[in-house]
Amino acid sequence: MLSIIRSATVLSLILIGTGVAQGMDFDVRPYEGRRTIFGDGPIVDGDADRLATAISRADRDQFGNIPIFLNSPGGSVAAALELVKLMDRVEFSPLVGSGAECASACASIVYISARYHLVIGSGRIGLHTCYAKDASGRAPEPSAFCNEAIRENAVRHGTSYSAIRMWDDYAPGEMAWFDARIACEIGLCGPPGFDRVLAFPSFDCRKAMLESEKRICSDKRLARHEASMAKTYAEALAAAGSAEEKGRLREAQRKWLATRDNCDEPGLIDCLLQALDNRQQALLRFVIDAQNAASHRR
């Protein structure tokens, strides 16, 4: 369901600078067998630090992400973008559960910036154009600079430009509410290009000998990155145009494995994540180049 609510209350929850002192409360409690973070309240400066303290007490989901349920009216754009920086480093799955609402900066910045995001049950997200106070300091007016920053952040995190433009028409004092069905239909869950590889390594953990393999098997985030890289490697082999090209690809993979296995403490996890991501990007470029070459031969 999509609805528009006109209310003076919305005006007190403007995206830039609410002046609200109390920020989000990040509580960790069991949910479906996992220790899960629940974030409630307006978004203010310092929320990223408060969320960071909860990370060590939470579990990762089947995608190797930390699930966080959001229930927030929105708040400061700057504080929301700081939350995104933390989410990018650690990898989260924001969820808006039944009975919860994620509106304004919560929806247009925090929710859609994560690798996986979803509205569940009767939950809903609320969106409107970003605005600031006018020169008099009283009446709100749309902010082109703020809206462009939000669009850029959203596209960079996988949300389509057409989905983002949908809330441009909702001016100060209005809110467009999207339930789970509509949010997914217009591209505000997933995102649409989300890689659904699960956090299971591509190799047999019972035979793991190297320290890097053991760590990948014991860390869901590493496991998902390794599985995703392995999937892309298989796609690259399938896209290779000749036996010689496949051979060069396998040799490059063997050399990369030797580099990956040079990762050691301290910083083993960060080193492995960087190695896995670098290799996957190289493989993706190979697949794209191979597909382009094949289309030119047709």
Segment 16-35, tens digit of pLDDT: 444 445 789 999 999 999 99
> What pairs with residue 93 in β-bridges?
67
**Class at the top of the CATH hierarchy for domain 2-185:** alpha beta
Residue 185 has pLDDT above 80, yes or no: yes
Q: What mean pLDDT is reported for the chain?
A: 84
Tens-place pLDDT, residues 41-93:
999 999 999 999 999 999 999 999 999 999 999 999 899 999 999 999 999 99
So what's the pLDDT on residue 142?
63
So what's the pLDDT on residue 167?
66
Residue 41 sits at the vertex; the CA angle it makes with 37 and 43, to the nearest 5 degrees, is: 95
pLDDT confidence of 289, banded at 50, 70, 90? confident
Q: Which two tokens stand for residue 58?
A: 């939470």
27 CA to centre of own chain: 20
Residue 3 has pLDDT above 70, yes or no: no
* Better pLDDT: 15 or 54: 54
pLDDT confidence of 40, banded at 50, 70, 90? very high
pLDDT confidence of 232, banded at 50, 70, 90? very high
pLDDT confidence of 133, banded at 50, 70, 90? low
Q: How far apart are CA 36 and CA 69, in angstroms?
A: 8
Give me the residue spans of the domains in the chain: 2-185, 205-297
The per-residue DSSP string of 25-46 comes to: EEEEEEETTEEEEEEES-B-TT
Burial letters for 153-189: b for 16+ Cβ neighbours within 10 Å, e otherwise?
Answer: bbeebbbbeebbebbeebebbbbbbbbbebbeeebbb
255 CA to centre of own chain: 31
- Answering whether pTM is above 0.85, one says no
Between 166-175, 189-198, 212-221, 272-281, the lowest mean confidence (pLDDT) is in 166-175
Q: How far apart are CA 227 and CA 244, in angstroms?
A: 25
So what's the pLDDT on residue 140?
62
So what's the pLDDT on residue 7?
36
